[in-house]
Structure 1
Amino acid sequence: MGNSCCFVCACVDQASIGVIEKWGRFQRLAEPGFHLLNPCAGQWVAGILSTRIQSLDVKIETKTKDNVFVHLVCCIQYRVVKQNADDAFYELQNPREQIQAYVFDVVRALVPRMTLDEVFEQKGEVAKSVLEELEKVMKEYGYSIEHMLMVDIIPDASVRKAMNEINAAQRLQLANVYKGEAEKVLQVKRAEADAEAKYLGGVGVARQRQAITDGLRENILNFSGKVEGTSSKEVMDLIMVTQYFDTIKDLGNSSKNTTVFIPHGPGHIRDISDQIRSGLMEASSAKLNVD
């Protein structure tokens, strides 16, 4: 009676690893390629694991230190370690649920010790802590955690609205500060310009009066020298009368003036002349006292 042998062909795809059992017990790992199995000896392919990097998105709801509920979206990239594929096959029935549970545990232990602003600022530290914990735990089960990304941080809608209002208020406050500084500079410049204008106006009035005084003096001297028998007082009265009539003429020619009542007569002219002469004499006396 002759012996007979029966073989079964098995093919393992690239980026995969096969688990070979013999009579229900793990025998070896099958690399990608063609394999011959002897079912009569109890050999068969128990399963095939992919060694590609896989991605798992986890959404976690937790509370921060300042009592703000927030949703964290994490992305975990993991893969099966070829050398430990038997542990990955036999130890964990559902690795995705196991990874998700560890992520929940680490995040909910870390985030409640941080404020919302700190969560935004230190999300890389949170991801690093989760990555270290997952690597330590999942390594025993034949899995390698490649990357841990904190994809998004989503506070409650009312919290986001409040944060935007706070930011807008701060920017408005800063804008008001800059606006106040600009108005302050503008007012200072206006005051400086007004002071400079008044100063220059005073200088102009002083020069005008000086020119008038010099002109009157020159006219008096010329008139007294050319017309014999006239005194300075008579010449001054004549000049004052001439200026008085010139003033009345200017008032009449101006289209913007309405009715103006001016005391007019020889007596009033003499009074005006006496008042001006008294003012000049008082000014001259005051100058002599100062000297």
Structure 2
Amino acid sequence: MPWNEPGGNPRDPWGGGNRGPDLERSLRRLRERFGRLGGGGGLFSILLALALALVLVDSFTVINARQVGVVLRFGRFERVLPPGFHLKFPRPIEAVTKVETTQVKSVSDQVRMITNDENIVLVDFNVQFQVSDARKYLFSMRDPEDTLRQAAEAAVRSVVGANTMDTILSAQGAELVSKTRDALQKTLDGYDCGLTVTEVNFQNVSPPQEVKAAFDDVNNAREDKQRIENEAQAYASKVVPEARGEAARITAEAQGYKAERVATAEGEAARFEQILQQYRAAPDVTKRRLWLETVEKVLAGTTKVIDGSRGKNLIYLQPEGGAAPGAAPAATGTASVSAPGDKP
């Protein structure tokens, strides 16, 4: 006798009565429900409800503040959605691709090139960029970042390769960075790729390790040359002004001497003209006066004066600062005085 037959079966696992769950009844109800769903209208209602739910969920989209949405209708560009909440047709009619427009992206690379003065240089550069046009960014090229990397390398080669190593390593390197950024942006605008370059940096510019020792020797020699040139310029800056000052002093002295001689000559000429006029007016008086003036000048520098008169008297004159009284006078000079026309 089965345990689940009516009656008082002592083998009933539920302890007899109707206290346990009715499994048959539960299975029967479950089959009835699935039977109703399997009918003509039940399954269609479920599928329709699921479709409506999917349509409602896919009929709107939310664009973040850092994004824009590019809407494609049947795979063709339709419009661009700004940040915010937007309604759209569900897929597969319309699909939205979200693009980050405020995020700053970057690419880095290293190039080895020959400069204009035939030196080898390694340049590590970094390019930062943003998406300025989401439509062009998605559809103008297959791989925008790889295209940007190749365009940046071309721009670096064209700008750096056209300059010398000294220019690249000097303070003018900032101008090269600006030129590289402009050249890269011009190339990207030609590609119409919807990218804007915000910054270009040369992180490291140095010669390759293979030629670094020779390059250091060249730099040391260049620094020595510059140092010697600076010392020479400093010496020239010191000596040249001194020489110019000395030349100016000599020139001024010569001009003063010239002016003095000219003035003296002009004075002598004027004096001679006056004496000539006096001589023409009174020749004897003028000759006598000239003789007296000459004798006065001569006797002023002599230590002895001899009287030219017939008395033959010798007169000793003590020169200023000469010997003491009573000492023999020094015969340093003798002047014989006689008037014009006197007989010896």
TM-score (norm 2): 0.44
- In 1: Cα distance, 2:147 partner to 2:91 partner: 37
Q: Secondary structure at the match of 2:199?
A: strand
Q: Does 1:93 align with 2:145?
A: no
Go from structure 1 to structure 2 and tell me whether the alpha carbon gap of 1:100 and 1:171 turns closer, same or farther (over 3 Å shift): closer
Task: Provide the alpha-carbon RMSD of the alignment.
Answer: 3.5
Q: Secondary structure at the match of 2:116?
A: coil
Name the counterpart of 2:186.
Answer: 136
Name the counterpart of 1:37.
Answer: 88
- In 1: Cα distance, 2:138 partner to 2:222 partner: 56
Residues 17, 50 of structure 1: 8 Å contact kept? yes
What letter corresponds to residue 34 of structure 1 in structure 2?
Answer: F
Q: Does 1:13 align with 2:60?
A: no
Q: Does 1:48 align with 2:108?
A: no
Structure 2 counterpart of 1:148, from 200, 214, 219: 200
Structure 2 counterpart of 1:60, from 91, 104, 111: 111
Go from structure 1 to structure 2 and tell me whether the alpha carbon gap of 1:101 and 1:113 turns closer, same or farther (over 3 Å shift): same
Deviation at 1:14, TM superposition (A): 2.7
What letter corresponds to residue 198 of structure 2 in structure 1?
Answer: E
Residues 12, 48 of structure 1: 8 Å contact kept? no
Residues 121, 207 of structure 2: 8 Å contact kept? yes
- In 1: Cα distance, 2:224 partner to 2:177 partner: 35
Residues 71, 94 of structure 2: 8 Å contact kept? yes
Equivalences for residues 77-226 of structure 1 within 5 A: 77-81=128-132, 84-121=133-170, 122-139=172-189, 140-168=192-220
Structure 1 counterpart of 2:75, from 1, 9, 24: 24
- In 1: Cα distance, 2:193 partner to 2:97 partner: 18
Go from structure 1 to structure 2 and tell me whether the alpha carbon gap of 1:111 and 1:78 turns closer, same or farther (over 3 Å shift): same
Go from structure 1 to structure 2 and tell me whether the alpha carbon gap of 1:167 and 1:129 turns closer, same or farther (over 3 Å shift): closer
Residues 56, 96 of structure 1: 8 Å contact kept? yes
Contiguous gaps of at least 5 residues in structure 1: 179-291
Structure with more helix by fraction: 1
What letter corresponds to residue 130 of structure 1 in structure 2?
Answer: T
Ranges of 4+ aligned residues in structure 1 off by more than 4 Å: 166-175
Q: Secondary structure at the match of 2:204?
A: strand
Q: Secondary structure at the match of 1:130?
A: helix
Deviation at 1:11, TM superposition (A): 2.5
Deviation at 1:126, TM superposition (A): 2.3
Go from structure 1 to structure 2 and tell me whether the alpha carbon gap of 1:40 and 1:70 turns closer, same or farther (over 3 Å shift): closer
Go from structure 1 to structure 2 and tell me whether the alpha carbon gap of 1:90 and 1:116 turns closer, same or farther (over 3 Å shift): same
Deviation at 1:46, TM superposition (A): 3.3
Q: Secondary structure at the match of 1:39?
A: coil
Larger radius of gyration: 2
Report 1 or 2 for greater relative contact order, CA contacts < 8 Å, sequence distance ≥ 6. 1
- In 2: Cα distance, 1:171 partner to 1:48 partner: 52
Go from structure 1 to structure 2 and tell me whether the alpha carbon gap of 1:103 and 1:170 turns closer, same or farther (over 3 Å shift): closer
What letter corresponds to residue 143 of structure 2 in structure 1?
Answer: N
- In 1: Cα distance, 2:144 partner to 2:61 partner: 26
Give CA-to-partner distance per residue, 1:223-261, whole Å, 9 cap, x none. Answer: xxxxxxxxxxxxxxxxxxxxxxxxxxxxxxxxxxxxxxx
- In 2: Cα distance, 1:123 partner to 1:171 partner: 19
Go from structure 1 to structure 2 and tell me whether the alpha carbon gap of 1:27 and 1:172 turns closer, same or farther (over 3 Å shift): closer
Name the counterpart of 2:242.
Answer: none
What letter corresponds to residue 205 of structure 2 in structure 1?
Answer: I
Give CA-to-partner distance per residue, 1:189-247, whole Å, 9 cap, x none. Answer: xxxxxxxxxxxxxxxxxxxxxxxxxxxxxxxxxxxxxxxxxxxxxxxxxxxxxxxxxxx
Name the counterpart of 2:38.
Answer: none
- In 1: Cα distance, 2:216 partner to 2:92 partner: 71
- In 2: Cα distance, 1:127 partner to 1:172 partner: 29
Go from structure 1 to structure 2 and tell me whether the alpha carbon gap of 1:38 and 1:105 turns closer, same or farther (over 3 Å shift): same
Residues 151, 188 of structure 2: 8 Å contact kept? no
Name the counterpart of 1:76.
Answer: 127
Give CA-to-partner distance per residue, 1:136-161, whole Å, 9 cap, x none. Answer: 23232211111122221021124332
Identity of aligned residues (%): 22
Residues 87, 142 of structure 1: 8 Å contact kept? yes
- In 1: Cα distance, 2:109 partner to 2:130 partner: 16
Name the counterpart of 1:182.
Answer: none
